[in-house]
Amino acid sequence: MSQKTIFHIDMDAFFASCMQVLRPELKNKPIVISNGLDKSIITAASYQARKYHIKAGMAIFEAKKLCPKIISVKPNMNYISYLSNQIWDYLKTNITDKIEIASIDEAYLDVTDLVLKIDAVKLARKIQAEILQKFNLTCSIGISFNKFVAKMSTGLNKPFGVSLITKNNFEIIQNLDIKKMYGIGSSTVKLLEKTNIKTIKDLANTSDEDIYYLLNKKGLTLKNAAKGLSSDYVDYLTDQYKSISKEITLLNPSYSYDEIEELILVLSKQVSNKLINNNLSAKTIEIKLRYKSPNYYDYQNKNQQTKHKQITLNNYVNDQNVIFSSALTCFYEIYDETKPVTLVGIGVSKLINNKQNWIQLSTDKDQIIDNQQVEQSLVIEDLIFDINKKFSKSIIKKAKDLKKTSR
């Protein structure tokens, strides 16, 4: 089988950049995405802000110490989602329909056929130029022989960069610090470093027995990726997800109920928008909380510091307020105010595809979902969401949602 050429396209600081496009007065200024309160958590930062070492997971008051002129901006998720859809649709129409949308700001393209006629780097530069001209946004592109290496390549030259990694120069990836490897979290990094695995190449050279002992089957998958052995299949035939999740790691563990609830609001809206973008609805809502381990040497979280709770609804939904209220219900059951929280995540599963204009979810005609109705209701949903976010509580709900939660 011939080797494929895969592009990984990553929009640069997408949430912050979209707000700079929407509000030109913010262009070239250090901005962060948050609700503006000093104790609130930053969910994204512009490259101008990152120059001051400001990043997601940091509190606003901490960012102000690094850059007093930092500007906190509330995200317009409808506009951000709109731009995301426009960019991916443009690539499907003008570059290739072999595109797999990985998230609101990332996609993989199989350009194997295209690079027979044009140099891969020239094609990447062409895509960058067209996105910049049409949407006033920059992106970085990683080029390689499979999806994992393409994604790793993207991070080598951001923002607005192009990186080409072949089997001949794959050592560039292998020489990277293990903490930069996609798919490895901070707790796994600590465990690997403790066993003297400090680079991706170290992982590749670890015996199967040793890595399986440390990380079970996941370890073998990571080792193969470190050796350059990973999937090159771009799934452009279906956009059906098995699950969707968003999470954020707090750089400073939080005891604050209000901070955590605010993050649940933000993550719920992001998950909702991803569902709507992909014409999906979900039936199961899950929340994930990770507490800081009281034992510094508990690298594997054997004391079950990560807590999960899920709820399965009677109907399929993609409404941000239903997701938020459901996640909040789960949150109440697992939250321990005596322990500092280091990570908050929201996930949905049991998904269905809503590609048809009308989908009958039950015999009740009031439970028919239609894409146009969803779009028309976004304004109302945003008002409800903004009020709930202001008061950090789900104090306003739609009548149909009250029925669901009162059963």
In three state form, how does the secondary structure of 282-314 look? EEEEEEEEEECCCCCCCCCCCCCCEEEEEEEEE
Same domain, 309 and 197: no
What's the CA gap between 318 and 273, in Å, rounded?
8
- Kindly report the backbone phi and psi dihedral angles of residue 75, in degrees, each rounded to the nearest multiple of 5, phi listed first: -75, 140
**What sections of 23-139 are H helices per DSSP?**
47-50, 60-66, 77-94, 120-135
Residue numbers in the known binding site are 10, 105
> Are 75 and 159 part of one and the same domain?
yes
Number of domains in the chain: 3
CB–CB of 266/273 below 8 Å?
Answer: no
Q: What is the CATH number of the domain that holds 205?
A: 1.10.150.20
Token duo for residue 52: 């001051």
CATH number assigned to the domain comprising residue 128: 3.30.70.270
Helix (H, G, I), strand (E, B) or coil at 59: strand
pLDDT score, position 373: 42
Task: Tell me whether residue 234 is in a domain.
Answer: no
What's the Cα-to-Cα distance from 289 to each of 32, 105, 284, rounded to whole Å? 24, 25, 17
- CA atoms of 84 and 72, how far apart (whole Å): 22
Q: Are residues 17 and 115 in the same domain?
A: yes
Q: Which two structure tokens, joined as six digits, stand for 81? A: 């989602």
Residue 397 burial (CB count, 10 A): 18
Any residues with CB less than 8 A from the CB of 38 and at least 6 apart, and which?
Answer: 59, 60, 61, 64
Q: Identify whether 113 is part of a domain.
A: yes
Residue 175 and residue 37 share a domain? no
User: Is the same domain home to 144 and 180?
Assistant: no
Catalytic residue status for 333? no
Which secondary-structure segment (H or E) carries 381?
helix 371-391
Instruction: Show pLDDT as tens, one digit a residue, over the chain (407 residues).
Output: 689 999 999 999 999 999 999 999 999 999 999 977 777 899 999 999 999 999 999 999 999 999 999 999 999 988 998 899 899 999 999 999 999 988 889 999 999 999 999 999 999 999 999 999 999 999 999 999 999 999 999 999 999 999 999 999 999 999 999 999 998 988 899 999 999 999 999 999 999 999 999 999 999 999 999 999 999 999 886 555 678 999 998 888 888 888 899 999 999 999 998 888 878 889 999 999 998 876 655 555 455 488 999 999 988 899 999 999 999 999 999 998 889 999 999 999 988 876 432 333 333 333 333 333 434 444 455 555 555 555 545 555 555 444 444 44
219: left (phi over 0), alpha (psi -120 to 50) or beta: alpha
Same structural domain, 192 and 217: yes
Q: Is 54 in the same domain as 185?
A: no
pTM score of the predicted model:
0.69
Residue 348 and residue 275 in contact, taking contact as beta carbons nearer than 8 Å = yes
**Structural domain that includes position 276:** 243-406
- Whether 235 is covered by a domain: the verdict is no
Binding residues for Mg(2+): 10, 105
Same domain, 158 and 182: no
Partnered with residue 244 across adjacent β-strands are 348
| 66 and 199 assigned to the same domain | no
Which of 106, 261, 286, 381 is flagged as catalytic? 106
Is 231 within the bounds of a domain?
no
Q: Return the CA Rg of the chain.
A: 22
